[in-house]
């Protein structure tokens, strides 16, 4: 099973969502999970993971099936030796599940990010990973369902967060 995760912040609560799907080219989800948690911690520059990680872990605790990989909206690495949200999630999961970061904008010091063009878009997505070779992760993101720049399952989890 594969999982896409996202978090939506509101003044009174934080919504974390997980879309589970069976294979990279899948066009529909196998399951949807939503966790309504307390308001997120304040944003700290350079420490975004502190704000989002607790919510991701709560929604992941609801997953009943083994995961092949987890896709997060953002970066795994912020630089050669600087862990981002995905790297912190990987460590929190005892390095048991590969994490793929898919970011929509370039980060100045991302280092090992690979640009991936999808659909007719001329703007790439930026893919980073841990527990899986980055080139393999980029191929997986290319194979994800959807004719547009953003894969269907990433759009789905984003909407699920905002609409829950």
Q: What is the pTM of this model?
A: 0.95
Q: Of 21-30, 55-64, 91-100, 107-116, which gets the smallest average pLDDT? A: 107-116
Identify the three-state secondary structure at position 49.
Answer: helix
β-strands 82-83, 31-37 pairing: unpaired
CATH superfamily assigned to domain 2-163:
archaeoglobus fulgidus dsm 4304 superfamily (3.30.2170.10)
Q: At residue 128, does pLDDT exceed 90?
A: yes
Contact 92, 128 (CB under 8 A): no
- In the chain, count H helices and then E strands: 4, 9
Average pLDDT, the chain: 94
Q: Find the Cα–Cα–Cα–Cα dihedral 116, 155, 86, 138, rounded to 10°.
A: -20
At residue 112 the predicted structure's pLDDT band, cuts being 50, 70 and 90, is confident
The span from the CA of 133 to the CA of 9, in Å, is 31
Q: At residue 111, does pLDDT exceed 70?
A: no
Instruction: Give the tens place of pLDDT for each residue, 30-69.
Output: 999 999 999 988 887 777 788 899 999 999 999 999 999 9
């Amino acid at each position: 099973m594969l999982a896409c995760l996202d978090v939506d912040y509101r003044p009174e609560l934080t919504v974390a969502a997980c879309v589970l799907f069976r294979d990279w080219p899948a066009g529909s989800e196998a399951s949807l999970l939503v966790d309504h948690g307390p308001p997120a911690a304040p944003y700290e520059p350079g420490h975004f993971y502190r704000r989002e990680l607790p919510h991701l872990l709560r929604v992941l605790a609801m997953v009943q099936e083994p995961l092949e990989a987890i896709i997060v909206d953002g970066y795994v690495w912020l630089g050669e030796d600087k862990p981002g949200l995905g790297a912190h999630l990987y460590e929190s999961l005892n390095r048991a599940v590969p994490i793929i970061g898919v970011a929509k904008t370039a980060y100045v010091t991302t280092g090992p990010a690979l640009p991936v063009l999808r659909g007719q878009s001329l703007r790439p997505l930026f893919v980073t990973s841990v527990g899986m070779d980055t080139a393999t992760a980029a191929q997986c993101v290319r194979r994800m369902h959807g004719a547009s720049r953003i894969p269907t399952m990433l759009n789905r989890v984003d909407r699920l967060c905002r609409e829950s």
